[in-house]
Amino acid sequence: MNRFRYELRLLLRSRVAAAALTLLLVLSAVAVGAGLSASARQTALIDRVATAQARDFAAATTQYGKPDGEAGYAAYYTFHLTSDRPSSLAFAAMGQRDIQPYVLRVRLLGLQAQLYETETVNPELALPGPFDFAFVLIYLAPLAVIVLMHDLVSGEREAGRLRLLSALPVTPGQLWLRRAGVRLMLVLLALLGPFLVGALVAKAPIWGVAILSLVAILYVAFWAGLGLMVGAWGRRSAFNAATLVGCWIVLVLLVPALANAALSRAIPVGRGVDLTLAQREAVHHAWDVPREAVMAPFVAKHPEWKDKARVGGGFHWKWYYAMHEMGDDGVAGQVAAYRASLAARQAWTERLGWLSPAAAAQSLVHRVADSDLQAHLAYQDNVTAFHRHLQDFYYPYLFSERPFTRKDFARAPVYAPRGSSSSTPVVPLLALLVLSLSAWAGGVVGARRTVS
């Protein structure tokens, strides 16, 4: 214990090391505070929309809930709120929540046009991502490790103390492993201290906090092991620093960027707004064709309304909403291809963790925080299921031409928020574990071979 205390005192005497640790602590605290603030803003926005939605629903009930009210008008002018509240760990990694809608008001009209009509984010502006704990962990923590580890051995050689240290009665490499361990623990303390405080404030589940902490430990351990391995080469401190910074550029910036470019070419993915346009074109085209062309496939899909699906020459709400549903069905193949492409990209991104620990760590923290692409698609699936409930509710009124009164408004479906879809992906976690152990194995071998 005394040896570790002496190593700690010796390390903190270095102004550069103390400054790096202090800066990492401050940045981690700021990032956690920014994440908590962002989560609170999203929650407050959902609450404000819910309050406004209650007023709008009450107004629609008064205006369209008359004794002889028509369900077509009620379905057209009544919005139904859906929302995806941030998880208790979303403050650590905002992920897709920074660019994807997390609150939607849907009607009985075509769903695809409503799911993607808010997709207006400039991808170039969204590219840097939010400043949260995940950003500090993935991009900045390795730099702090580099500052502390690049002169682990070379600093002693350049100061003329390496021969004296090599003569100490200790196991070869034990001194360097102890020093590397002290540096690793200090970086983790500066990094995870604010995160754990934020998790307490957010009342995050213990299991999620443990998994995210494990990811941070493995990721930082990889960089510490790499620093120990490079530092044991016997080169000068400047060379070690340049080598480690080069590794950071390649593994954190270059490999993910090149992989993303390759995936973009190999698995092209359209924009969600294109599905909106395609669905609206299908609906607009239905105005120009005989109504039987709309009602025939609708009846084939809903045979329970076969005897009540006849429409005359005038406007009929049943035909109007059947037209919108057929518009959704008309782009179902495009929607399936779009989601399949997203899923394929996500799968390859997780496999990228074998080449880049940064990619593995990013996939893991966003999954644990329930803020990745999978979470957003799960929200869309829940909205789709809710939209089907709206159809099941309104169609009996529309096709039976029953009056829609104020009491019927009270029986309208209410959106039930989804539960957490978080599940730790095995591939990136295994990749991060293997990379971390490999880096430390190389560092241990290098430390034992270090000579003056």
pLDDT one-digit tens code per residue, 254-292? 999 999 899 889 988 877 778 888 888 888 888 888 888
The predicted model gives 416-439 an average pLDDT of: 82
Q: What is the DSSP letter of 86?
A: P
User: What is the pLDDT at residue 29?
Assistant: 97
217 within 8 A of 374, measured Cβ to Cβ: no
**In which band, very low, low, confident or very high, does the pLDDT at 104 lie, cut at 50, 70 and 90?**
very high
Handedness of CA 214, 220, 226, 232 (dihedral sign): negative
Domain count, the chain: 1
User: What is the pLDDT at residue 72?
Assistant: 92
Residue pLDDT, tens place only, 51-70:
999 999 999 888 887 777 88
Residue 327 pLDDT > 80, yes or no? yes
- Average pLDDT score, the chain: 86
% of the chain at pLDDT higher than 70: 87
Q: Name the nearest CA neighbour of 190 among 59, 317, 20, 358.
A: 20
> How do 103-106 and 80-83 pair as beta strands?
antiparallel
Range of the domain at 374: 1-452
User: What is the pLDDT at residue 452?
Assistant: 42
Least confident range of 127-131, 222-226, 307-311: 127-131
Q: Which two tokens stand for residue 128?
A: 């840097």
- Alpha-carbon distance 130 to 256, whole Å? 18
- Alpha-carbon distance 289 to 293, whole Å? 7
Residue 203 pLDDT > 60, yes or no? yes
- Which single residue is written with the structure tokens 């071998």? 445
Residue 432 pLDDT > 70, yes or no? yes
The predicted model gives 372-386 an average pLDDT of: 92
Q: What is the DSSP letter of 81?
A: E
Q: Which two tokens stand for residue 98?
A: 């920074």
User: What is the pLDDT at residue 419?
Assistant: 64
Question: 221-250: buried (b, 16+ CB within 10 Å) or exposed (e) per residue?
Answer: bbbbbbbbbbbbebeebeebbebbeebbee
The predicted model gives 203-225 an average pLDDT of: 95
Residues in contact with 218: Cβ distance below 8 Å, sequence separation at least 6, in sequence order: 361, 432, 433, 436
pTM for this predicted structure? 0.89
- Alpha-carbon distance 184 to 187, whole Å? 5
Q: Name the nearest CA neighbour of 427 among 378, 366, 361.
A: 361
User: What is the pLDDT at residue 222?
Assistant: 96
268 within 8 A of 341, measured Cβ to Cβ: yes
Exposed/middle/buried for residue 139 (C-beta within 10 Å: 0-12, 13-18, 19+): middle
Which of 2-16, 275-289, 371-385 is most confident? 371-385
User: What is the pLDDT at residue 125?
Assistant: 45
Exposed/middle/buried for residue 167 (C-beta within 10 Å: 0-12, 13-18, 19+): exposed
The predicted model gives 379-405 an average pLDDT of: 93
Residues counted in the chain: 452
Least confident range of 40-54, 183-197, 297-311: 297-311
The predicted model gives 373-382 an average pLDDT of: 92
Q: Which two tokens stand for residue 263?
A: 């995936």
Residue 159 pLDDT > 80, yes or no? no
User: What is the pLDDT at residue 394?
Assistant: 95
